[in-house]
A and B are shown apart, each in its own frame.
Chain A
Amino acid sequence: MSTAAALQVEGLHKAFGKLEVLRGIDLTVGEHEVVCLIGASGSGKSTLLRCVNLLEPIQAGRITVGGSEITARNVDVDAIRRRIGIVFQSFNLFPHMSVLENVTLGPRKALRRPRREAEAEAAALLQRFGLADKRTEFPDRLSGGQQQRVAIVRALAMQPELLLLDEVTSALDPELVAEVLDVIRELAAGGMTMVIATHEMGFARDIASRICFLEAGAILEEGPPQQIFSAPREERTQQFLQRIVDAGRL
């Protein structure tokens, strides 16, 4: 059915100095698939996403997006990043720009779209995610949940073929988490291919087509959510999930 995988990671190694953070990651994500990465802090979830967006140089391995290798020499990294959206834990909105300017910066400068077109599309996206009245606000006037939704809209405005979400609810107050998760549910329902690093296990169970459990820089176990959450094969996965259950988070 699918021609080429939306994302294929092979033998990815990443180290910060002597500290090995990723030790041979292999991961294939099909089109319209939603893959959730779970695992303890420091297991390499965020680093994996940053590597896929070429924000981190890697030591070994290959990453292919939509059939073209992005880790090849002499690739145009800017052109690749235009095809891959990423949303960060701490939003990283541009504080000196209004919401509309935040969302249109990429389309206007990276895609060289005319301002009017970019603004019309941004306005439609903001409308769709209930942010129409925030267009002229600056980020510091918005709640965390609103800021994170703007950040998602900013990534969507580039019409990415792959969206990476890096613990996008971890910096939010508990009562603001739902509005952000709803946005992601809507995207999943719309067929967006996503790789999501998350600590929201209930959410991961609902939304994921596949769960990958990371441990010490490697994917220890992967499978459909029902299997991972109810019958994990690996002992480490069981221990991790037990701790989550004990903490009342699942």
Chain B
Amino acid sequence: MAVVVVIVTRSPGWEAFKAYFLDGQIYRNSFPEILNAFWLNVKLFCVAEMFILPAALFVAVLRSLPGPVFFPLRALAIVYADLFRGIPTILVISILGFGMPALGLSWMPSSQFFWAVVALVLVYTAYVSEVYRSGIESVHPSQEAAARSLGLSRGQSLRFVILPQAVRRVIPPLLNDFIGLQKDTALVGTLGVVEAFKQAQIDQSATFNGTPYLVAATLFVLITIPLARFTDWLIARDRKRHQAGRLA
């Protein structure tokens, strides 16, 4: 770290870099505007996550259905996950954000915020469903046997025995995807929606100075940290509950 600092600050272009990215006055000036735009990122994140969490669980459950009867559903889930994990997020956002309103169907929402959310939900549901699936598969089959042997139906076993264990195990990787989604909300700026990154771009072209990007970066980091600590807390609480055992 110290070495990096020395190399960077001794570099021939350091003064120019400092002037371009680290202008205190511009930082303070552009901060309120970018913060204001950043709420849109938070909103995108929250709204999208609300749909992603249940939808991904649904897709994961579809993929774990056994037997030849459910093959079409399983295949559908696999094709969906492969497709939306394969296409770069920025392309999905562009195709939906520009393409859908261009269809000119009057009953279809034309708000770009709406299509941005749809795009993020489609992409991240694919990722998160894989996380859930790995959790479901990590629960030993003997757990389902035990649940079914009590006369619980397949659905009840899933709901009361398999999923609670599966979800607990995947909270850390789930958080990774949360952070990924929070960052990818910046891609929505390509639609012309003024979120933090787009606002930073606007400020940059107004001042010919890159400091506004640093403002946006600060905000993204600031929201990631509490998210990370919150997950740590959840994991610790779960562990404590099991090890301490006796709760009144």
Contact = CB atoms under 8 A, between A and B. Distances in A.
B245 A141 contact: yes
B168 A109 contact: no
Given A110-B156, A136-B248, A137-B245, A92 B151 contact: no
Contacts of A79: 151
Given A136-B246, A138-B242, A94 B146 contact: yes
A92 B145 contact: yes
B151 A55 contact: no
Nearest to B142: A92
Contact of A105 (B145, B150, B241): B150
Question: For B148, B149, B161, B242, which residue has the most chain A Cβ atoms within 10 angstroms?
Answer: B149
Contact of B160 (A80, A90, A105): A105
B99 interface: no
Interface stretch (A16-24, A81-89, A179-187, A241-249): A81-89
A140 interface: yes
A137 B242 CA distance: 8
B142 A106 contact: no
A85 B151 CA distance: 9
B76 to A, nearest CB: 26
Q: Is the interface of A mostly helix, strand, loop or mixed?
A: mixed
Contacts of A155: 149-150
B148 A81 contact: yes
Given A105-B160, A137-B245, A141-B245, A110 B165 contact: no
A75 interface: no
A175 to B, nearest CB: 22
A96 B171 CA distance: 15
Interface string A133-149: 00011101100000000
A136 B245 CA distance: 7
Interface string B157-197: 00011001100100000000000000000000000000000
A106 B151 contact: yes
Contacts of A95: 165, 242
Q: Is the interface of B mostly helix, strand, loop or mixed?
A: helix
A93 B145 CA distance: 11
Interface string A42-60: 0000000010010100000
Contacts of B164: 96
B151 A110 contact: yes
A82 to B, nearest CB: 3
B238 to A, nearest CB: 9
A61 to B, nearest CB: 20
A248 to B, nearest CB: 31
B143 A94 contact: yes
Given A94-B161, A109-B160, A110-B156, A81 B142 contact: no
Nearest to A158: B150
B247 interface: yes
B66 to A, nearest CB: 12
Interface string B137-155: 0000011011111111100
A17 to B, nearest CB: 17
A199 interface: no
Contacts of B245: 136-138, 140-141
A241 B150 CA distance: 35
Contacts of B143: 92, 94
A111 interface: yes
Contacts of B145: 50, 55, 88, 92
Nearest to A133: B246
Contacts of B161: 94, 105
Contact of A106 (B150, B165, B242): B150
